[in-house]
Chains A and B, each alone.
Chain A
């Protein structure tokens, strides 16, 4: 894997982690809101 390919994969993975974090945040805070 060359440096450009590596950067591309890094960005894709980072986006995936970022959206997982957002999803987790949304779920946790909606659940917290529902729990009072």
Chain B
């Protein structure tokens, strides 16, 4: 059981700094959340043998933060994961060797996270789209501040660990490279993201509610207590782990104080490791080989870069799930902004289909038909798309919505947008049948050839003109009258 706990710990600390890129495809949970969930029963079962060491001065703020997160509606309940992770990691870390391994893995995870963050910010991989301003967003989290705080903590930790002579040379090199990458990612986040998004960092303590302020005060107190413990550990016992952990925790805390990021697991893990270093270890164990843990995490990363299954609804890169959430809370304007930003960077069919859906909700049928046509006629690109391309069911669902929306409109306002969408979806015969059904009002006589050509052009398929020419002239004239506002959007 001890070995399983260690394995889960390593996966947890390695996965946490990867943010949104550690989702287990089709399971809708992250690697670190899964590790935490499995660690919980193991730690509880082993509590009688492993006397709890967590000092009272640390567990009461953690317990209060958890209670506040669960009770206050203003605080996201995901914050409750923070103290749970803190307590679990503290209790599960039993040997000094596993703590050292965890620190190295956290530093390496931070390096991998830095590569992803840099790539996402430069547009090489799909990012989490925190922004609505049209910039490629922060890479790992939906919040650039959370990313800055993570790198602020892990970069100095990795830098100091890479200077430790006691570690193996290969580990020191890997950790040193990770530190350098994290510094680059941090600089990019600070100068590119945070400067570009002044509105997002203008979240001030002064504007928070009393519950959130109390929670922050508890968090700061917990951090302060750990910093004090680390300082005394360094002064009294000259522990080699005290200095890197003190610098890392202090930097992360300073970042958190100034930026007030969204809660993130890697900060809680760093504090748990720092707090554990201050308590005595009673057991010893041989440290495992690092490469063993990096390989599965790297594989998971590779999968996450290529696939974002629709089933992973919590992945911030899954705009389909976000769209459903925003629609259910009637935030259509926010969704529109987000989709426009997305369409500029990822003009894939599913984004355009979503734009068609929001246009329908706004009552802009011509725009909806344009977006639908764009989505339906988009060629299959060689580059892997961000979300799977929409299937026939998605198109049919939108066409049903379209039909419901236009059938509620008066005939003069209806135009032929629905029929355009039908033609784009390849249902030309349905489009023609719908037009013929609607061609009831008598209209001014027109030149049949010209009318057929123009109706066909409006529908987006010139080949239809030949079929239209076989229709009675009165029908053509009535349909021609319906196409009055066709092409106005061009």
- List chain A positions with a Cβ less than 8 A from chain B: 1, 6, 9-18, 21-22, 24-26, 28-29, 32-33, 36
Inter-subunit contact A11/B228 (CB<8 Å): yes
A33 and B203 CA atoms in complex are apart in Å by: 9
Inter-subunit contact B258/A24 (CB<8 Å): yes
Q: Does B223 contact A (CB under 8 A)?
A: yes
The residues of B that contact A9 with a CB separation of less than 8 Å are 228, 232
Inter-subunit contact A17/B202 (CB<8 Å): no
The residues of A that contact B258 with a CB separation of less than 8 Å are 24-25, 28
Q: From A18, A25, A32, give the contact of B202 (CB < 8 A).
A: A32
Q: Does B92 contact A (CB under 8 A)?
A: no
A12 and B414 CA atoms in complex are apart in Å by: 74
Inter-subunit contact A21/B236 (CB<8 Å): no
Q: Given contacts A21-B257, A28-B258, is CB(A14)–CB(B204) below 8 Å?
A: no
Q: Given contacts A24-B258, A29-B205, A32-B204, is CB(A15)–CB(B224) below 8 Å?
A: yes
The residues of A that contact B236 with a CB separation of less than 8 Å are 1, 6
A-B contact pairs, 19 of them (CB 8 A): A10-B229, A12-B228, A13-B224, A13-B227, A13-B228, A13-B231, A14-B221, A14-B225, A16-B224, A17-B228, A18-B220, A21-B254, A25-B205, A25-B220, A28-B257, A29-B205, A32-B201, A32-B202, A36-B202
Tally of A-B Cβ pairs under 8 angstroms:
58
Instruction: For chain B, residues 199 to 244, give those with C-beta under 8 angstroms from any C-beta of chain A.
Output: 201-202, 204-206, 220-221, 223-225, 227-229, 231-232, 236
The residues of A that contact B204 with a CB separation of less than 8 Å are 29, 32-33
Q: Does B253 contact A (CB under 8 A)?
A: yes
Inter-subunit contact B228/A22 (CB<8 Å): no
**Chain B residues within 8 Å of chain A by Cβ, number:** 21
A35 and B226 CA atoms in complex are apart in Å by: 33
Given contacts A17-B227, A25-B257, 17 further A-B contacts (CB under 8 A): A6-B232, A6-B236, A11-B228, A12-B228, A14-B224, A14-B227, A15-B224, A16-B224, A17-B228, A21-B223, A21-B254, A24-B254, A24-B258, A25-B205, A25-B258, A26-B205, A36-B198
The residues of A that contact B220 with a CB separation of less than 8 Å are 18, 21-22, 25
Q: How distant is A18 from chain B, measured CB to nearest CB, in Å? A: 4
A10 and B236 CA atoms in complex are apart in Å by: 12
A16 and B221 CA atoms in complex are apart in Å by: 10
The residues of B that contact A29 with a CB separation of less than 8 Å are 204-206
Q: How distant is B256 from chain A, measured CB to nearest CB, in Å? A: 9
| 0 or 1 for each of B375-396: is its CB under 8 Å from A? (1 = yes) | 0000000000000000000000
Q: How distant is A5 from chain B, measured CB to nearest CB, in Å? A: 10
Nearest neighbor of B254 in chain A, beta-carbon distance = A24
Q: From A14, A21, A26, give the contact of B228 (CB < 8 A).
A: A14
Inter-subunit contact B224/A21 (CB<8 Å): yes
Q: How distant is B203 from chain A, measured CB to nearest CB, in Å? A: 9
The residues of B that contact A13 with a CB separation of less than 8 Å are 224, 227-228, 231-232
Nearest neighbor of A31 in chain B, beta-carbon distance = B258
A26 and B204 CA atoms in complex are apart in Å by: 9
The residues of A that contact B232 with a CB separation of less than 8 Å are 6, 9-10, 13
Nearest neighbor of A23 in chain B, beta-carbon distance = B257
The residues of A that contact B257 with a CB separation of less than 8 Å are 21, 24-25, 28
The residues of A that contact B198 with a CB separation of less than 8 Å are 36
A14 and B224 CA atoms in complex are apart in Å by: 5
